[in-house]
Structures are given as C-alpha cells and as structure tokens.
Amino acid sequence: MNLLSGKKRLIQISLAVSMILLAAKFFSYFLTHSNIILSDAMESIINVVASAFAAFSIYLSSKPKDENHPYGHGKIEFLASVTEGLLIFLAGLFVFVKAVNNFFFEQTIQAMDVGLLIISATALVNFILGKILVREGKKTNSLLLIAEGKHLLSDNLTTLVGVAGIIVVVITGMPEIDTIFSLLLGLIMLRSGYHIIRPSVAALMDEADNDLMNKVTLLFTENRKNDWIDVHNMRIVKYGSDIHIDCHVTFPYYYSLSETHSLVNDIEVMLRKNYPQELEIFIHADPCIAADSCIICLKQDCAFRKKPFEKKMEWTPLLFSINKKHHFQKI
C-alpha cells in the first residue's frame, strides 16, 4: 500500500468511526440530559465535519501538478488542518458560553450510569484511533493525519474529563458539578483548537521549519565530501507531506559538467534516501572562487589552489540559509 492510499484509508476509517461515535454520544445526551455529554457530543460533530474535509483534501492533494499548481495541491492539507482547529475552537467557545449560561438555569439529569458506560466506550475507541493517526502522520510527514489524530486524542481527553465529571455527579448527586465540568471541557477545546491552528497557519505562510532545516543540515554534515566546498541559499518549503528543497552548492570551478552532475546526483540520492515521501530538489551548482574559496576548501589534491587551506567551516542551518558563498573572514 503506497503512502497516498494509506492516508486515504485512514481518513475514511476516521470519518466512519467519528459518525458512529457521534450517534452514540447524542443518544447518551438525550438519555441523560447531561451538559457534560452534550459538550462531548458537540466536539464529535466537529470530528465528522473535519474528517469529511480531510478526506476531500487527501483526494485533492493527490492530484498531479498542473499549469496552475506547479508545486502540486499539497497545501490543501494545511487549510484542512486550520479549518479543523478553527471548528474545535468555535465549538469550545460554544460549550464554554453554554456552561456559563447553565449556572443561571436549573437542570435535570438522569440515567447517568448508562451514559457513563457509553461515553467510556467512545473514549477508548478515540484513543486507539488517535494514536494510530498521529503515528502514521509522523511516518508520512502529513500534518493532516497528525492534526486528525491530535483532534481525536483531544476529544478523548475531553471525554475522560467528562467521564470523571459524570462519576462525581453520580456519587454526589449534585447537578452543579455537571456545569462546572462543562466549563473545563470548553477551555480544553479552546486550547486544543489553538494548538492545531498554529502550526498549520505557519505552514501556509511558508514559515521556516527549523526542525527540518536542522535535519537536512545534519545530513549534509554527516555525508560531507571534500568536493562540496559550501552550501548556501537553502530554502525548504512543505506542501502537505511533500517537501521542496532548493540550494546552491559550490564545486571546484574546473570540474566538467559530467563531474558536477554526478556530485549533484549524490546529494539528491542522499536526501531521497532519508525522505521517502514526495521530494522535489533543485540544486544550483556554483563554481568556486579562486583564493577566497581556497582557504576553506577541504580538497587536498587540487592542482589549481591559489591559497593554502586555513579553516574548516562548521556547517549550520544559519550558514546554509545565507545567500552568499562561504568565506569565514566575511561572515
């Protein structure tokens, strides 16, 4: 099963499970009239809507590049994640406001023991599915699967808080406890929505991914060849689970086109080996500058050296991002 079909299957399973759990939670609410259970059911509505949007975004992101989308359609995954986080945030706001309103109105709850069993079962299902989605999302570098999994885990957290609240209500017989726990659930949903929105908005804005930049820099450092005099002007952009890397690499100026192409190919093989998902690489080959490049060049058998070697440059993400060839006296 390839990465794309695997993501589609997981999203479809998530959508089906969310619909079943939604029905179970609303059945439990109508049975008990508990605000805690209503809060949990409200978030499950978001689960269904978000899973449907996620399924559509997986379909759209799988479409090949075209004239209007030369980098593909992968960013729809970020939009889906933002939408999911926003829906959770709005649901949390609704739950919080309703809970505050319930302080001023008397409520009657019933059959809490049955409701407790139903809600506990949904918590277990959400936990298992959420863990699977987050794990697979990290494997495939898919923000959408990670967001979907975290959403289910956050739903599971609110459900567990709800279960605790129901237990307290059953033990104490105090319906006010139901409203207090509803307030807590609303706050948890608000926080969860924000933490899903934040990284997805950053990705839509092409914010630098420091973790990815650090990993790519480490790959270059660990596989460093003497012919790679320096790496600069590196840009890394994510489109859904796809990664686009472009950079300039300085090679000896006297190398033939064939030799330079072979070195560029070595870099591409190194990157693709470590990033099995869709990876697009653009490497601009720069010729070294006589004298200036010599003092940092590790190539010992160079017949065209103008100055002796002075210092090995320590490659860092900051150094890679600078748009100029390395020369330690000028940095």
- For the chain, list the strands marked E by DSSP: 230-239, 242-251, 279-287
Burial of 30 from C-beta contacts in 10 A (0-12 / 13-18 / 19+): exposed
Q: Specify which residues 245 forms β-bridges with.
A: 236, 281
Residue 330 lies in a domain: no
CA distance linking residue 321 with residue 247, whole number of Å: 9
E-state strands within 152-310: 230-239, 242-251, 279-287
DSSP 45: H
Do 155 and 22 share a domain, yes or no? yes
| Cα 288 to Cα 126: distance, rounded to the nearest angstrom | 56
Residue 49 C-beta-side C-alpha neighbours within 13 Å: 15
Digitized pLDDT (tens) for each residue of the chain, 331 residues in all: 455 566 778 877 877 888 888 898 889 888 887 878 877 787 778 767 776 776 676 667 666 666 676 666 666 667 777 777 888 888 788 878 877 877 776 666 777 788 888 888 888 888 898 898 888 888 877 766 787 788 778 777 777 878 888 888 888 878 778 888 888 888 887 887 888 787 777 666 666 678 889 999 999 999 999 999 999 999 888 766 678 899 999 999 999 999 999 999 999 999 988 876 678 889 999 999 877 788 888 988 888 888 888 888 889 998 998 888 776 544 4
The answer to whether the Cα torsion of 250, 251, 254, 260 is positive or negative is: negative
CATH number at residue 227: 3.30.70.1350
| Predicted pLDDT at 113 | 80
Tokens of 163: 């279960």
Give pLDDT, residue 327. 62
Q: Is residue 329 part of a domain?
A: no
331 located within any domain? no
Residues 167 and 311 in one domain: no
Is 326 inside any structural domain? no
Q: Number of H helices and number of E strands within the chain?
A: 9, 3
Residue 229 belongs to a domain? yes
pTM of the full predicted structure? 0.54
- In terms of residue numbers, what domain contains 69? 3-204
Buried b (16+ CB within 10 A) or exposed e, 256-283: eeeebeebbeebeebbeeebeebbeeeb
For residue 243, being part of any structural domain is answered with yes
Q: Indicate the number of domains in the chain.
A: 2
Position 276 in a domain: yes
Task: Judge contact between 152 and 112, C-beta under 8 A.
Answer: no
